[in-house]
Amino acid sequence: MSRSKVRGQCLLYTAARVGAVARLTLKSLKHDGTQYALRFSEKGGKSREIPVRHDLEQILRGYIEAAGITDGPLFRTVFRRTGKLTARAMSGIDIRRMMKRRLRAAGLPGEFSPHSFRVATVTDLLEQNVPLEDVQHLAGHADPRTTRLYDRRRRKVTRNIVERISI
């Protein structure tokens, strides 16, 4: 799996902010004896730990081994066009730019961004009737109203609603 796909999977399966993903280090990936978790440094100096799905665990472990990462940043910049990883961490802006290049190369709409992964994850969980409070906690939102702003479920106007108009 390519390095960009690993970052995308990490964004999608954790609902983390792109800046928090960019700040991940090898030490951020913890194993408690039963499962792996990622410890994110969030905005406002907060940190939170999110369990890692089994498939993401395999993807991350494969990426770490293939990239030869033994310490430091998890997601690193590449030296010019050589494909060789540097010791420098990617920034959130680096991840955004990389995603825009990949979207353009694939002929996909440019309005997508790393933030689109958060929106998709929140919407997917809400579509599955996961309680709003649980989704809010995963997304790291202090207020449930913020989580509701991410909800992109299609609302349908039904005949029942129209029949209730009493003017």
Contacts of 149 (CB under 8 A, 6+ apart): none
pTM of the model: 0.83
> Looking at the domain assignment, is residue 65 inside a domain?
yes
> Looking at the domain assignment, is residue 30 inside a domain?
yes
> Looking at the domain assignment, is residue 17 inside a domain?
yes
- Give, as one character, the DSSP assignment of residue 167: -
Check: CB of residue 145 under 8 Å from CB of residue 57.
no
- 100: domain CATH number is 3.90.15.10
Q: In what order do the strands lie in the sheet with 36-41?
A: 29-31, 36-41, 47-51
Domain, as residue range, for 52 = 3-109
Residue pLDDT, tens place only, 135-160: 999 999 999 999 998 888 777 777 78
> Looking at the domain assignment, is residue 31 inside a domain?
yes
Q: Which amino acid is at 94?
A: D
DSSP run (H or E) holding 36? strand 36-41
> Looking at the domain assignment, is residue 150 inside a domain?
no
> Looking at the domain assignment, is residue 80 inside a domain?
yes
Number of structural domains in the chain: 1
Assign 164 to helix, strand or coil: coil
> Looking at the domain assignment, is residue 120 inside a domain?
no
- Angle, vertex CA 114, rays to CA 70 and CA 25, nearest 5: 15
pLDDT in tens, the chain (167 residues): 567 678 888 888 999 999 999 999 999 999 999 999 999 988 778 889 999 999 999 999 999 999 999 999 999 998 888 878 899 999 999 999 988 988 899 998 888 888 999 999 999 999 899 999 999 999 999 999 999 988 887 777 777 878 887 77
What pLDDT score was predicted for residue 59? 92
> Looking at the domain assignment, is residue 104 inside a domain?
yes
